Chain A
Amino acid sequence: DSGVTQTPKHLITATGQRVTLRCSPRSGDLSVYWYQQSLDQGLQFLIQYYNGEERAKGNILERFSAQQFPDLHSELNLSSLELGDSALYFCASSVVGGFGNEQFFGPGTRLTVL
């Protein structure tokens, strides 16, 4: 158990809909990262937040957004969903300023868009 929790574990929705994925980092970790893992794209970095502020951006679509709240939990919002958004979404956390960029991953949310 990495200490990172993600909810829900599974999510099934329809095209055009909007969903919110939630992540709680390890106690004491200030950074949260979101990743998308799909068969065709592999594991891709989406976005990073550090202590409530956006720190780095990866291959995140404009239909997707995220935020980190004062209690350090984070939410990833996916809107106007398309079939190709079906994937496993991982959240990871780290204590920025520790060893490099050592990240601890949550179990993931599996999103299925029908």
Chain B
Amino acid sequence: GEDVEQSLFLSVREGDSSVINCTYTDSSSTYLYWYKQEPGAGLQLLTYIFSNMDMKQDQRLTVLLNKKDKHLSLRIADTQTGDSAIYFCAEDTGKLIFGQGTTLQVKP
């Protein structure tokens, strides 16, 4: 079946690293995505990883993929208050299946 699970809430202090985790079920997923949703706004694509990669780094963002465990994580280095948002992971099974979203709270 198609299911994507995320923890619902994460709170960190400004300057710390944030790690948001996600598990998915469909091993045929080709791409996995991280989207960010700020209050009152639509979803913004942050980064994506192809399913045959283990890691992708993009400035402060690092995506790790453990295909065996179907586990995806997003690490945000030096987290800033502007990073406060809801983060969605999504798997591409021909259509996007989203997790419930993780609310990241960054305390000054």
Residue positions of A touching B, CB distance < 8 A: 2, 4, 33, 42-45, 48, 56, 58, 90, 92, 99-108
Find out whether the CB atom of A103 lies under 8 angstroms from the CB atom of B45.
yes
Which of B43, B95, B100 is close to A90, meaning CB atoms less than 8 Å apart? B43
Which of B35, B96, B99, B100 is close to A45, meaning CB atoms less than 8 Å apart? B96
Which of B33, B44, B48, B98 is close to A43, meaning CB atoms less than 8 Å apart? B98
List A contacts of B50 (CB < 8 A).
100
Interface size class of B (residues with CB under 8 A): 20 to 34
Chain A proximity of B35: nearest CB distance (Å): 8
Which of B41, B42, B45, B100 is close to A42, meaning CB atoms less than 8 Å apart? B100
Among residues 6 to 65 in chain B, which have CB atoms less than 8 Å away from a CB atom of chain A? 30-31, 33, 35, 41-45, 48, 50
Could you list 16 A-B pairs, sorted by A, with CB under 8 Å? A2-B42, A33-B95, A42-B98, A43-B88, A43-B98, A43-B101, A45-B95, A45-B98, A56-B94, A56-B95, A58-B95, A99-B31, A99-B48, A101-B92, A101-B94, A102-B33
- Using CB atoms, name the residue of chain B closest to A45: B95
Q: By CB atoms of chain B within 10 A, which of A42, A43, A44 has the most?
A: A43
List B contacts of A58 (CB < 8 A).
95
In the bound complex, CA of A48 to CA of B42 (Å)? 18
